Amino acid sequence: MNGLPSVEKAILVFSRFPGIGRKSAQRMIHFLLRHEGVEIQPFIDALEALRERVGFCTRCHNLAEGTRCWVCMDPDRLSSLLCVLEEPVDLMAIEKAGIFRGRYHVLGGRLNPLHGIGPDQLHLESLRIRLQEGDVEELVIATNPTVEGEATAHYVAQMAQPFVAKITRLAYGLPMGGELEYLDESTLFQAMEGRRRF
Ligand SMILES: [Zn+2]
């Protein structure tokens, strides 16, 4: 936007968010400019709190405020059931659907050699250590049904084989390329209920 460098800069910042294109970013900025009464301090405070207080669980790599996340600190979760996921958003989707009473391990991504993501870039070593502890009876692999997600699932299954009696994979009733975080709750429920042996 010629002559409005501050507006242009704000649009660029907003449009970095996933799902927000330039048009949506423009609409948000113009809303803020039109409504002077909109308080921006709560936005700033919320963002600062995110930066300062939210990190990752040292055990499962979920988001956490403190060293352990709320799932790891919950004594009522089954330690015999462990679900492996790509990202914290996938964990949130399963938690929101209320379909799982075990514990989690967040890999922090999926194998993608073309983009330089190999096993060392994911939280696989900490997974191996957890499995070696011997408490896990069923490992549910819930990586996304994409090509990379499938490759990651195979890698995890092979790694887990010596330590876990039962390895299962979510039964997705959707085409390859779907993402867990966008599934509705009933589809997720079916995927979890119908999980099959790897
Ligand atoms: Zn945790």
Convert 156-190 to b/e letters by CB count within 10 Å (16 or more is b). bbebbeebbeebbbbebeeeeebbbbebeeebbbb
Q: Per DSSP, what are the bridge partners of residue 123?
A: none
Please give the distance, rounded to the nearest whole angstrom, from the Cα atom of residue 81 to the centre of ligand 1: 14
Domain boundaries along the sequence of the chain: 1-38, 74-197
CA 78 to centroid of ligand 1, rounded, Å: 13
What is the tens place of the pLDDT at every residue in 66-103?
Answer: 999 999 999 999 999 999 999 999 999 999 999 899 99
Q: Any idea which architecture 74-197 has in CATH?
A: 3-Layer(aba) Sandwich (3.40)
- Verdict on whether the full-model pTM lies above 0.95: no
- At 170 the pLDDT is 87
In this structure, what token pair is assigned to residue 173? Answer: 């009733």
pLDDT > 60? residue 174: no
pLDDT digits (tens, 9 = 90+) for 12-68: 999 999 899 999 999 999 998 888 777 888 989 999 999 999 999 999 999 999 999
For residue 72, the CA-to-ligand 1 centroid distance in Å is 4
Ligand 1 centroid from CA 89, angstroms? 14
Centre of ligand 1 from the C-alpha of residue 114, in Å: 29
What separation in Å is there between the alpha carbon of 19 and the centre of ligand 1? 28
